[in-house]
Amino acid sequence: MYEEYVFDDYLISPINGHKCKRLLAMNIKVFGFSSLDELDKEYPGFPRYCNSSWKKLLERIEKNKEYKKCDNCGKRILITSHKRHMKKCLYNAKCKNESCTNIINSPYNKFCSNSCSASFNNKNRKHSDKTKEKIAKSLKKEKKYKNFQCIVCNDNFLSYKSRYTCSKKCLNILNKNSNLYDRTNMNKIYTTLILLTCKICNKKFYKQSKSKRSTCSRECYILSITNNKKYQNGSRKNIYYFSKSENKTICLESSWELKTAQILDQLEISWIRPSPIKWIDGKNISHYYYPDFYLPDYNVYLDPKNPYCMELDKEKISVVSKEINLIYGDIAIILNYINDL
């Protein structure tokens, strides 16, 4: 399209005839335009690179995708960072501290730890007479003990620091019941507790006067967020769709969800946006799964997913599909299942 202005070694400006290898925000004014947007408006699709620099850029992108195996540790490393890795991997040196026998694996460190560097550097350090006097005074100072009362057992105890409890046992009890005191203030303050009802499960619970809690537990908090959240899985544009079954506008998150919602409404199958489902992974950590559709008449969950998401969510789907009736996969699989209902 712009063969008159694009050559192997340079680009030519269509306004002032200036030559350059590539166009950037820094040199666009020399090229005869105020900004890159102005160039796109007047000459849409004008190339930013000459032919030689464009080939180099493509070669660099292909190089970044290639991996090479380290002979020492066996890790797969990008070719661009292979030399840097080999320097670190094959580097073996002793700690600079003579009393230490540890080996360092990095060429950027001289000591194996902070304690070794401190003991080595503080050997030949000399203090002035003033600093010696200050150190001697601080060591000779008598600590002023004050009387405190334990919040848990109400026993009196002496301490030179402000404390809430008299022992570790009382501290453990206090950490379990953290709503009994205010952590922000160092002085002993008994906060006023307010009785509330959870807006999700209607269970009664106590909260501090300063806290902004409105739910009784973490599960109810997640439910309250997901019900009011405009978008759950990223930063794409929201699709607002009027659901006939729920009789309200619902925010959908992809074009596949829009297709399934339209077909369900055409076939007059009732559906809702379900609440999140709790599941536990192999490391015994709890997570929440958010299926896209729930058909209450058939007790089935629908979740259209592309192949990339299927690979990422293998463990999640395998665990959740044992607990609920879940139909997932490509949009064609979901539509075939709906038509067979």
Predicted confidence at residue 301, as pLDDT, reads 92
Question: What gap in Å lies between CA 280 and CA 316, rounded to an integer?
Answer: 8
**3-class secondary-structure state, position 159:** strand
**What does the pLDDT look like over 66-117, one tens digit per residue?**
778 877 777 778 777 777 777 777 677 788 888 888 888 777 788 888 888 8
Per-residue pLDDT band at 312 (split at 50, 70, 90): confident
Q: CA nearest 246: which of 200, 296, 290?
A: 296
**3-class secondary-structure state, position 239:** strand
Write the CB contacts of 100 (distance below 8 Å, at least 6 apart in sequence). 94, 111, 112, 116
Backbone φ, ψ for residue 202 (5° rounding): 60, 25
Q: Residue 112's CB: how many other CB atoms inside 10 A?
A: 20
Q: Where are the chain's structural domains?
A: 11-61, 146-180, 193-224, 229-340
Question: What gap in Å lies between CA 87 and CA 190, rounded to an integer?
Answer: 58
**What does the pLDDT look like over 109-146, one tens digit per residue?**
888 888 888 888 888 778 888 888 888 888 777 777 88
pTM for this prediction:
0.37
